[in-house]
Chain A
Amino acid sequence: MKELTKKALDVVKEMGASYGDIRIVETRTQTIRTRNGNVDALSSTRSKGFGIRVLYDGAWGFSSSSTLTEDEVVRVAKEAVEIARASASVKRDKDVVLSPVKPVVSKWTSPVKIDPFSVKTEDKIALLLEADRLMADRKEVKVRIGSMACQREDKIFASTEGSYIEQTKIETGAGIEATAADRGELQRRSYPTSFGGNWATAGYEIVEKMRLLDHAERVAREAVELLTAKQCPSGVMDIIIESSQLALQIHESCGHPIELDRVLGQEASYAGTSFLTPEKLGTFQYGSEEVTITADATLPGGLGSFGFDDEGVPAQRVTIVDKGIFKNYLTSRETAHELGQVSNGAMRADGWNRIPIIRMTNISLEPGDWTLDEMIKDTKEGILVATNKSWSIDDKRLNFQFGTEIAWEIKDGSLGAMLKNPTYTGITYEFWRSCDAVAGKDEWELWGVPNCGKGEPGQVAHVGHGASPARFRRVKVGVGKW
């Protein structure tokens, strides 16, 4: 591959590009889905290709192709420069400048205990079908789904500045869900979390740890119980959020607004901008003293972990919110320069055919010193919500609303009735400022979100979030007419 990367970089330099990089990426994915007792999908996908990114006359160009031949590399390299030339015809008042990064020659492989591709497909199917069978007893359960997937990505990054980095990353994920319907009501329950279950940069060991079979019967039962559960009340009350829903809350209300490309307007036409404008850096009170949030691309097992980002910047741990104060953005070489900083390594591309953009790594709420039990005991009136069902947030990431699969009443320090259709809403910083309790390390879990969308053309990123249950005071719940 070295000859191809060298050829590409030589061509762009000859054509006058001031910077160029090439990524050659091969991705292999296996997906298994069971539905109502059948193997509904068993598929394997391979995608391979390369993308060349150049700076010419101070503007960006990118082109990519799935045909890995020298002729095509030359054609695509030339096209990338042509495209950059077109960009330069509608240019900013200043050229793109990249903050410095030390060129590296390196290899990185994600740690894996059990290679998920080595596990027999029959065994994976058998596990999902057994979970399916355990969910099948109740006639109200109309749809039972089991899913499992693994992915291996082999990637080479080479730049005109002398970097040559080879990385191999293996990810695995699995989950089950039951949808129950009866008499005009429809409810879903899933495990370990919704939308395809949990994911990690790890091997099959993560699936074994889930113990899907131990939870299948409960998932089906709760889906059915939800059909006749009490409607979540409307009002302002204390809420305790379980770890996987809190992961989504962090994702939408912290992860996205700290992407510096968004802040600088680069996503303005699509996903939007951010309320965390640069003058707030270092001073803005994002949350209460209990709230410390980190971005850590080095977390073992994190779905947002890697060795180097797609600009060759090494993985890092950065404090985003320190005891409530907003401290750092996620940055790229270009955007960091705008703030007089160097990149903290958050640039990732969704495959060979996309440019790198700023993506979350593992954005986590650091553990506090409560326990979930203590929080419940300490709450006079409120609800405990769990497992994401719907999400929505405005284009500056201020006004959010979440729905969860399930909730329970809390009255005078103990858990009460199950509630259906829970929703809660708020304004990001008011909400995080109302956080007065975070559970400790023992209840802290790392979640993988494999479906974060951003950019045009669309890119899907795999990111991680760690959280333990936390309590928020006086939150608006039960939104809308039910």
Chain B
Amino acid sequence: MVDKKLLGRENALDVIDKVIRWSPGDLTEVILRSEFTALTRFTKNYIHQNVAESDYRVTVRVIFGKKIGSVTTNSVDDDSLKQAIEDAAAIARLQPPNEDFEGLPEPEPLPDVNCFVPETASFSAKDRAAAVKEIVEIAKERGFEASGAFSTGSAELAVGNSRGVRAYNASTYAALSTVMAGEDGTGYAEASGRDVRELRPAEVARVARAKCEMAQNPVSVPPGEYEVVLEPLAVADLLDYLGRAGFSALAVREGRSFLTGKLGQKLFDEKFNMWDDGLDPRGFPVPFDLEGVPKRKVVLVENGVAKELVYDYATAKKEGKKSTGHGGFRGWGPMPTNLFMGEGTATLEEMIRATKRGILVTRFHYTNMAHPLKVLITGMTRDGTFLIEDGHITKAVKNFRFTESALRVFSTLDMIGREAVRVERTVVPAIRVPAFNFTGVTEF
């Protein structure tokens, strides 16, 4: 069953055609989004928040020469659209030309990627409650308390412009996460994807429960430099920073990236490979960006060598290149959106066995960039932090604060997990790093 609230390709493109026809601009761009999302949240083994939302949003950019006005409205009737066009034209006329404006992209053939799974779109509050019940029962068997969230939804994105771009995509989304809490330790697991049937609540619950069991009675270990085994959730966090801080063509041009003047150099361990691929179904596929440009696979790092950057239309045009389909963030410039890290050959077990005295990290919490050129990141560990001694996990430890450079992590890692997993939009394996800087410790 297709969710009947979606506009569908024809109606969505019809809105876009109308706006372009009515616009007085030399150029016009329209982005239409519709969103039907729902989320069930639970704490201490019961559902405490349960919400749903339906929304349509249209953003119109009316352009005279290099003067641009942008209006967003969430009413899609003809009168509201006409008003939005008029307002956008009025504010466009008010301003001096934007000399950095490079025009709008031309149409290109769009890849055919299926992002819509009817079973996800029709997943109901009742279905989500049943999954939560399953998780809660698994927690209760050990006397634990489960908290978490289960969200499902469908969305549409349509992008069009007066040069002929007409892009439409319908997609679905599902994400499930749970923290299980015992007396004095917690464990976490999550799953997400376009197909809700891939999520397997009981499996997620069992992983979180196993972590939680191991996490009880944590001891305090002094901060310092340790060998670490980082599980995929932690790796994804660092990889996202690395991607955003370094691989935007605009940031490189402006000297804000660690890659300025260093493209083509070997900056990372030769086992390290990283790319952006919006079309790979192992991640969250999406056929085009917010400028309506098809997603292209971009090899960011190959065998440790920094290779390519992501581009939006304006940044690409300035350098005589082609957009890679990473646009639509306006002045922020292009950004990687679907990162992948290449697998290695190790199992998690082997990485632990190779560790003399180190820390196994399940995930990080509240990370933030302390210095963008050094990609120096600080944050906490959370929901399953363990001491490894002589190749074995020996005990749970209290959570650490780390202050460490992602550049150092990916240039010194010595083992890479053989299985990459989806962590929201990023697909990564576990890694082992011989030295990682923990700079503080907390009380739990």
- Contacting residue for B437 out of A38, A393, A425, A481, CB 8 A: A481
Set of chain A residues within 8 Å of B151, measured between Cβ atoms: 456-457
* Distance in angstroms between the alpha carbons of A30 and B42 in the assembled complex: 36
B91-A121 in contact (CB<8A):
yes
Chain A window 43-57, contacts with chain B (Cβ cutoff 8 Å), 1 for yes, 0 for no: 111111100000000
Are B47 and A39 in contact (CB-based, < 8 A)? no
A residues 314-366 touching B (CB-CB < 8 Å): 353-355
Which residues on A sit within 8 Å (CB–CB) of B43? 264-266, 268-269
Closest to B443 in A: A398
- Whether the pair B50, A44 counts as a contact (CB closer than 8 A) is no
| Shortest beta-carbon distance from A432 to chain B in Å | 15
Smallest CB separation, A49 vs chain B (Å): 7
Q: How far is the CB of B36 from chain A (nearest CB, A)?
A: 10
CB of B378 within 8 A of CB of A479, answer yes
Q: Mark A23-45, 1 if CB is under 8 A from B, else 0.
A: 00000000001011111111111
Counted as pairs of residues, one from A and one from B, with CB atoms less than 8 Å apart, the total is 276
B1 within 8 A of A: no
Cβ–Cβ contact B401 & A42, under 8 A: no
Is B49 an interface residue, CB under 8 A from the partner?
yes
Nearest Cβ distance between residue B15 and chain A, in whole angstroms? 14
Q: Which residues of B contact A403 (CB under 8 A)?
A: 368, 370-371, 378
Report A-chain residues with C-beta under 8 Å of the C-beta of B42. Answer: 90, 269
The chain A residue with its CB closest to the CB of B70 is A43
In the complex, chain B residues whose CB is within 8 Å of the CB of A354: 51
B104 within 8 A of A: no
Contact B403 A401 (CB under 8 A): yes
Within the complex, the shortest CB–CB distance from A400 to chain B, in Å, comes to 9
Contacts known (A142-B256, A396-B442); A390 close to B370, Cβ less than 8 A? yes
- Chain B residues near A421 (CB, 8 Å)? 370-371
Is the pair A186, B373 in contact by a Cβ cutoff of 8 Å?
Answer: yes
In-complex Cβ contact of A125 among B95, B126, B179 (8 A): B95
A265 touching B91 in the complex, CB below 8 Å, given contacts A43-B71, A181-B254: no
Within 8 Å of chain B (Cβ to Cβ): is A249? no
Q: Is A175 interfacial (CB 8 A cutoff)? A: no
Query: Which B residues lie within 8 Å of A457 (CB)?
Result: 37, 39, 51, 53, 151
Contact A355 B373, beta carbon cutoff 8 Å: no
Which residues of chain A (247-293) have a CB below 8 Å from chain B?
Answer: 264-266, 268-270, 272, 275
Residue of B nearest to A45 (CB): B72
Docked-complex contact B256 and A181, CB < 8 angstroms: yes
Q: Report yes or no: A269 in contact with B378, Cβ–Cβ below 8 A.
A: no
Partner of A40, one of B45, B98, B132, B444: B98
The closest CB in chain B to the CB of A456 belongs to: B149
A480-B52 in contact (CB<8A): no
| A337 CB, min distance to chain B CBs, angstroms | 14
Determine the chain A residues whose CB is within 8 A of the CB of B100 once the complex forms: 35-36, 38, 40
The interface bits of chain A over 384-406 (1 if a CB of B lies within 8 angstroms of the residue's CB, else 0) are 00000111111110110101000
Total interface residues on B, using CB and 8 Å? 93
Contact B47 A395 (CB under 8 A): no
In the assembly, what is the distance between CA of A39 and CA of B439, in Å? 42
**A65 interface residue, CB < 8 Å from B?**
yes
Contact B440 A479 (CB under 8 A): yes
**Interchain CB contact under 8 A, B331 and A35:** yes
Known: A86-B40, A129-B96, A421-B371. Contact between A480 and B75, CB under 8 A?
no
Q: Which of B68, B129, B374, B378 contacts A390 (CB 8 A)?
A: B378
Q: Which of B51, B88, B376 contacts A63 (CB 8 A)?
A: B51
A185 touches B99 (CB 8 A): no
Chain A positions 63-119 with a Cβ under 8 Å from a chain B Cβ: 63-67, 76, 79-80, 82-87, 89-92
Determine the chain B residues whose CB is within 8 A of the CB of A125 once the complex forms. Answer: 94-96
Please name all residues of chain A whose beta carbon is closer than 8 Å to the beta carbon of B133 when the two chains form the complex: 89-90
- Which residues of chain B are near A62, meaning CB under 8 Å? 49-52
Q: Which residues of A have CB within 8 Å of B376?
A: 480, 482
Q: Is there a chain A Cβ closer than 8 Å to B379's Cβ?
A: yes
* Contact assessment for A268 and B147 in the assembled complex, using a CB-CB cutoff below 8 Å: yes
Which chain B positions have C-beta within 8 A of A65? 53-55
A123 CB to closest chain B CB, in angstroms? Answer: 10
Q: Mark B67-89, 1 if CB is under 8 A from A, else 0.
A: 01111111100000000000110
Binary contact track B143-157/A, C-beta < 8 Å → 1, others 0: 001011101000000
User: Nearest Cβ distance between residue A74 and chain B, in whole angstroms?
Assistant: 14
In the complex, which residues of chain B have a beta carbon less than 8 angstroms from the beta carbon of A398?
Answer: 442-444
Known: A392-B380, A394-B399. A179 touches B54 (CB 8 A): no
Query: Is A127 an interface position by the 8 A CB rule?
Result: no
Contacts of A456 in B (CB 8 A): 39, 41, 49, 149, 151
Give complex CA distance A362, B367 in Å: 25
The answer to whether B366 and A392 touch across the interface, beta carbons within 8 angstroms, is yes
A298, B62: Cα distance in complex, Å? 41
Tell which of B37, B47, B181, B442 touches A91, judged by Cβ atoms closer than 8 Å: B47
In the bound complex, residues from chain A placing their C-beta under 8 Å from that of B92 are 42
Check if A265 sits within 8 Å of B147, measured CB to CB. yes
Chain B, Cβ-Cβ closest to A390? B368
B380 contact from A43, A87, A394, Cβ within 8 A: A394
- Given known A-B contacts A40-B331, A44-B91, A456-B39, A270 and B149 have beta carbons under 8 A apart: yes
Say if the beta carbon of A136 comes within 8 Å of chain B: no
A89: nearest chain-B partner, CB-CB:
B129
Q: Which of A408-435 contact B (CB under 8 A)?
A: 421, 423, 425, 427
Residues of A within 8 A of B4 (CB): none
Bound Cα distance A398, B382 (Å): 13
| A interface footprint on B138-174 (CB within 8 Å = 1, 0 otherwise) | 0000000101110100000000000000000000000
Does A213 make an interface contact (CB < 8 A)? Answer: no
Q: Which residues of A contact B46 (CB under 8 A)?
A: 90-92
Q: Give which listed residue, A59, A353, A392, contacts B378 with CB less than 8 A.
A: A392
**In whole angstroms, how far apart are the Cα atoms of A92 and B136 in the complex?**
11
| Inter-subunit contact A63/B52 (CB<8 Å) | yes
B94 x A121 contact (CB < 8 A):
yes
Mask: chain B, 97-110; 1 = CB below 8 Å from A; 0 = not: 11111000000000
Q: CB distance A355 to B74 under 8 Å?
A: no
Q: Is A375 on the interface with B (CB-CB < 8 A)? A: no
Q: Can you name 20 extra interface pairs (CB under 8 A) apart from A62-B51, A90-B133, A121-B94?
A: A85-B125, A86-B126, A92-B44, A92-B46, A122-B94, A125-B94, A181-B260, A266-B49, A270-B149, A275-B443, A398-B442, A399-B440, A421-B370, A423-B403, A425-B439, A479-B440, A480-B404, A480-B437, A481-B405, A482-B376
Which A positions have Cβ atoms within 8 angstroms of B?
33, 35-49, 59-67, 76, 79-80, 82-87, 89-92, 121-122, 125, 129, 142-143, 145, 179, 181-182, 184-186, 264-266, 268-270, 272, 275, 353-355, 389-396, 398-399, 401, 403, 421, 423, 425, 427, 456-457, 476, 479-482
| Sample (5) of A-B pairs whose CB atoms are under 8 Å apart | A33-B331, A41-B70, A86-B125, A89-B47, A392-B368
> Across chains A and B, which 5 residue pairs bring their CB atoms closest together, nearest first?
A480-B403, A43-B70, A86-B125, A181-B255, A399-B442
Chain B interface (Cβ < 8 Å from any Cβ of A)? 37-57, 59, 68-75, 87-88, 91-92, 94-101, 124-126, 128-130, 132-133, 136, 145, 147-149, 151, 177-179, 181, 254-256, 260, 330-331, 365-374, 376, 378-380, 382, 399, 401, 403-405, 437, 439-444
